[in-house]
Amino acid sequence: MDIEQTYQSNIQALLSGNAPDSNLCSELSCGLGFLSDFWINHYLDQYIPAGGSKLKFVTGKSGCGKTFFLRVFEEAALNRNYIVAAFSASNVWLHDFSIIYLEVLRQCDLMNILQGCANSIIRNMGYDPAEIPEGMTFIDYLSEQSGADALTRREIRLQLKKMFMDNPLLDNNFALSCTLLTGGILGHPTLEDANRDLLLGYLHGEPGIKNTLLRSLGLAPEKLSKYNARHMFRSLSEVIRLSGYSGLLITIDHLDVLLNSSGMQELHYTPSRRMDTYESIRQLIDEIDTMHNIMFVFAFDKELLHHDKYGFQCYSALMMRIQNEIISERFNCFADIADLDDLAKQKYTAPVIVEMADKLADFLEAAGEKAHRLNETDAERLIYQANYGTVGLPRLVNRSVIEGVQEGFDLDQGVDDNV
């Protein structure tokens, strides 16, 4: 998508009550910094790059800014050399963890990651990857320098073995696949295009891959399942670290789709799939400490947290792991469940609301759209509405700026749940 298309897409998103792209969300952000800056500082800047792993939840009423928060956090991660995978529970199944893994792998661009691993090996051998002409392998470059002798080739193989095969955090099949693919990038050991496509197809779970062909490459292929997908996740996050990235951030929005019993939606979660999803999240929580340099953030409407029949409450094994044992009147940035409604009550004062509205109005007016400016009296009215209504304060501000909301306007009518 080019710049003009992105610009128009952002305008349409704002006019329809949706969150724009991550870059614009960061520019328009106001008030969220109390939480986002804390997470960025403690997790993205310190804990995750140091080898930590974390799972967080973001919740609140409809329109409280959950998707907006995810976009701000994603942009911060990208600016800190993270790989970011973002998707919605409304279009990616969550009941089988292998499906989540394959979606994340699809968004990661594995060959680009392995190029980073290859560059690391090149530097370890005393060369600068930037000096190698585009389209030329490392071994070809060495040949031009009369340096591709048997000892150098052996050193390349040893570097590959040390990086992948001797790494205890990597699944054996994943490690061997990365060894062969990275060797193909370096030019030694040589990897034919057909075998490269075969390995990538295997890692991406493509059907029809023949095990006999994989065995000929030295693999002991095992079908990807929800039982071994977390080990593959651990392997992926480790290879991402080896390639020079700070870590992997995965954001999953609209988890509250689990409450939707309509058969008209793209993905319909049956009761069994809903419970499998809760069990999958429960297992992820229990095993998160076995992973490194990785962070998960789930976002959902608050109803999912408290619904007795279909929400987290119906799966006590999960609820016991995520509920906050100590409830404080002050917003706790360390809590695993971040309630944006509580954040709004403490941090979204009238001046903050006016600043939020002015940022949005400035952007819309610069785009040639009409915008309604708010004063502190308007802001106080919106704060009151948010405290006693079913719509989050950010959405009320959005609608007020765009349409000049008057008393009695139906704020729920025709508004998406993505802001």
pLDDT tens-digit readout, 263-290: 666 788 888 999 999 999 999 999 999 9
- Choice between 370 and 105, residue whose per-residue pLDDT is larger: 105
Nearest alpha-carbon partner for 70 in 107, 40, 41, 98: 40
CA–CA separation, 24 vs 71, rounded Å? 9
β-strands 247-253, 82-88: how paired? parallel
pLDDT classification of 147: cutoffs 50, 70, 90? confident
Q: Which CATH code, of 3.30.70.330, 3.40.50.10800, 3.40.50.300, 3.20.20.70, is assigned to 32-96+228-347?
A: 3.40.50.300
Are the beta carbons of 383 and 407 closer than 8 angstroms? no
CA–CA separation, 265 vs 171, rounded Å? 36
Domain residue ranges of the chain, discontinuous segments joined by +: 1-31+348-419, 32-96+228-347, 110-216
**Which residue, chain included where needed, has tokens 């928060």?**
69
- Choice between 16 and 212, residue whose per-residue pLDDT is larger: 212
pLDDT-wise least confident of 24-33, 235-244, 260-269, 401-410 = 401-410
Question: Which pTM was predicted?
Answer: 0.91
Most confident of 43-52, 216-225, 316-325: 43-52
Q: Which long-range contacts (CB under 8 A, 24 or more apart) does 344-350 make?
A: 344/31, 344/60, 344/64, 344/65, 344/386, 344/392, 344/393, 344/394, 345/387, 347/31, 347/34, 348/31, 348/383, 348/393, 349/383, 350/376, 350/379, 350/380, 350/383
Judge whether residue 27 has pLDDT over 90.
no
Provide the pLDDT for residue 261. 67
Across the chain, mean pLDDT equals 89
Nearest alpha-carbon partner for 89 in 66, 120, 64: 66
